A and B are shown apart, each in its own frame.
Chain A
Amino acid sequence: MTDYALEIAHVPVQGKEDGLLKVRAGEFRAALAEPSLCALLSAELGGFSHTGEAECTLYGKPFFPRSPRAALKKGVAVVTPEGALAGDLSLTDHIRLLPGMLCGKKKARQKAETLCEAYGFSLDLAEPAGNLSAGDRFRGEILLALLRECRILVLCQPETALTPLELEALAAGLRKACKQGKTVLMLTCRLSAAALADACDALFPEPDDAPPERLDIAVGSVVLEARNLTGGELRDVSFEARAGEILAIAGLPDSGKQTLLDVLTGALPLSGGRLRLNGREINDYSVRERVRAGIACVPGAEENYGFPLENVSVGESMALRRYREPAFQESGFLRKREMTRYAEDTLAWLNIRRGEEETSENRRRCALNRETDGNFHALLILNPTAGLSEDQARDIWNRLITLRDERRAVVLLTADAREALLAGDRVLTLYQGEITGAFDPAVTTEKELGLYMTGRRQDGEERFDEE
């Protein structure tokens, strides 16, 4: 029997031919890897899919789970930020549904509470999982894995669901679990997260943490002004985006960023508040009128980053928000040739080969290019670098900074505190549809921002002191 609980050979690491990842039993180890590698390893270990690219060994025996159930049977539980909880069921219900756990609500609750206390989690066990925050859902899944008495716990990219402070608290809990014989492997693409573990393997060259270059440019006039916006889950959201400034709005998943984006683009009607673009009220403008007025937008993964390709061609996607303009249509007929030519030019300019448009990175680049190719005043962009590697993210941030330097207003809605601080000139935090604070990225830490992303709030007077 080997001392290693888990060995993964042939890890497809950039630059190295054969990566090897070894985790001893009872160890809390982190692996620093690109997002795609994190996803691959977690899918392989959790039995979500089998690519055969990595060769796993569990306690000296080959380990190729064919399904999540098979992986759990062997004592390996994988927790991903996407999660596997049913939105309508509470954590207590989930616990009662675990195999071999047939018991009443009360008993299930007691068991969960004991564990929560032992590892320092504070979770609402009765609330439906769909209403919990992303961080609580992540911790909830860890709790379920522990209740299943798994031997090896694999966490995939916990930093996307948890704030830095939450992650630190979780790490402390996990260390306790390790002392009781569990083995924890944390797959992450963030150095600060990896540093929390007892040991760390770097499966790709360490990213340099220096912020992208900034030019000091005087901030201009207010371009996009939102006053007391309400609608959907938004409550009294007010902010101003100025020309030559990147305003970052940081909020965890489900904090209302998507709703805010929909309200700003006009896809969702406002139920109260005022929205102005360059001083003109645009409350009643439709999506199309807002595009014409100069609001550009690159949405998130749910809308395929604004570059859909299922039922529409590349050319049509490239003209997605402008196909009613005379350049792309003539008395109701699409000018397909123009669209194709425009798309081909753009793809060539972006250095994207034909057939490679469908990756999520290229979708984002295409959409960003399309939206910023015309005359626009404000760009809204949602989670632009989620799931991208450090280099790819840097490209996108540099593009945003270029736009800022061209005196446009950029509103960056992101779930990533680090991204907000690196790319933003001013940062607001959003929690449950409310702005909880305004920050200067030069003097704010990720941890501090994390606190406000999870519910702490600045005083009313303090909130807009920078404006």
Chain B
Amino acid sequence: MRNKGFRSFGRALLCLCLGLLLGAAAMIGVSFLALGEFRWETVCQEGLLPLFTGGWRDGPLALLGRAAPDVLLALGISLAWQGGMLQLGGAGLYALGAAAAMLCASLTGLPWYACLGVSALAGGLWGAVPGLMKKRLRLREALGTALTAWMAIYALQAFSGLIAWEQSPMPDLFVPALLIAGALALLAWLSVRFTVPGLDLRLLGESEKTARYAGVDTGKTAFWALCLSGLLGGAAGGLDYLLGGVHQLPDLSLALTGPGLHGLAAAALAGGHPLGAAIAAVAVKYLSLGVGAMNGAAFSPEMGEAILALILYCCAALALGRKGGRKA
């Protein structure tokens, strides 16, 4: 187990390094396609420089603080992953959490931690829906989480006209956000590794038959894992709103599928290891902040996101893929 843990850490770090290298290579290719000629200065100043330095622009504290929501979401997804379940509803939970925090902050004026709690609760309840369907009707969680996310995103968008969206009135929350994310990552890892419910969850991830043989109540374990996963996802959206990351509701589907995908990618890159997922989420956030800073003729942020996904995919192939895919 210890070796496996180190391997997950190693994977996350390896991905970061390889990703940066591959990103540079992809930039060169894209600039050549966009401009029809190869200009080293364009690649450096409009592509590589923002990508490498964009994340650092406001210092490490801001980077880690901004990455905190992504870390929470990645943790939520990795918890479900530990139980062998695919949580595809990250974007929906994120949107729901953000909306809940916004409503709570603007209507009640409660302090930020209460708003965060409300968003976590909203996410947890929404995550319980696919959990309940899986427990009662044995409906696949991948389907359930994806469809509930779909519902949440578009329902919120439909209601957005009725709600006045307000900018987060909260003070600078980078330090608490950072602490919360760090503490939850540690807590998630410790509970998965060292507690009885954690072992239940890992056995469920091994296979349902094995878990049942070991005496695990598989339905209950899956339900609670999806609830917790939803809770963390909701908290992630809430935290992002409170940090000032989410600006308005009508953009939800566009603006928030990003974090959903980032969280899934981070959890997958770490193979579901909570600490690995947290580190991978920071790395992904670093790159996506860099992508956001790209603003030139050759590289639009959309192209940047595409390159980011390419980078992550290549990383996954290099770090996780096994040689000779065909099973002997």
Contact = CB atoms under 8 A, between A and B. Distances in A.
Interface of A: 43, 48-50, 265, 267, 286-288, 291, 297, 299, 302-304, 306, 308, 310-313, 316, 320-321, 323-324, 329, 332-334, 336
24 contacts: A267-B212, A287-B214, A287-B215, A291-B215, A299-B209, A302-B209, A303-B213, A304-B210, A306-B210, A306-B213, A308-B210, A310-B205, A311-B203, A311-B205, A312-B203, A320-B214, A323-B199, A323-B214, A324-B196, A324-B215, A332-B195, A332-B196, A333-B196, A334-B195
A303 B210 contact: yes
Give the residue among A48, A49, A265, A312 with the most B Cβ atoms within 10 A. A312
A333 B195 contact: yes
Nearest to B324: A49
Contacts of A321: 213-215
B245 interface: no
B209 A303 contact: yes
A324 B215 CA distance: 10
B64 to A, nearest CB: 29
Interface string B53-89: 0000000000000000000000000000010000000
Given A48-B328, A311-B82, A321-B214, A316 B206 contact: no
Nearest to B192: A311
Contacts of B194: 333-334, 336
Nearest to B203: A312
A313 B2 CA distance: 9
B295 interface: no
Given A316-B1, A333-B196, 9 more contacts: A49-B328, A267-B213, A303-B213, A306-B210, A306-B213, A308-B207, A311-B203, A320-B203, A334-B194
B134 interface: no
B191 to A, nearest CB: 9
B292 interface: no
A324 B217 CA distance: 13
B244 interface: no
B202 A311 contact: yes
B197 interface: yes
Interface in B164-211: 194-199, 202-203, 205-207, 209-210
A277 B321 CA distance: 49
B199 A267 contact: no
A303 B328 CA distance: 21
A308 B197 contact: no
A302 B208 CA distance: 11
Nearest to B216: A287
Q: Which 9 A-B pairs have the closest CB atoms?
A: A49-B328, A288-B215, A313-B1, A287-B215, A311-B202, A267-B212, A308-B206, A311-B206, A320-B214
Contacts of B203: 308, 311-312, 320
Nearest to B2: A313
Nearest to B217: A286
A304 B211 CA distance: 12
Give the residue among B203, B213, B215, B217 with the most A Cβ atoms within 10 A. B213
Contacts of B205: 310-311
B215 A312 contact: no
Contacts of B217: 286
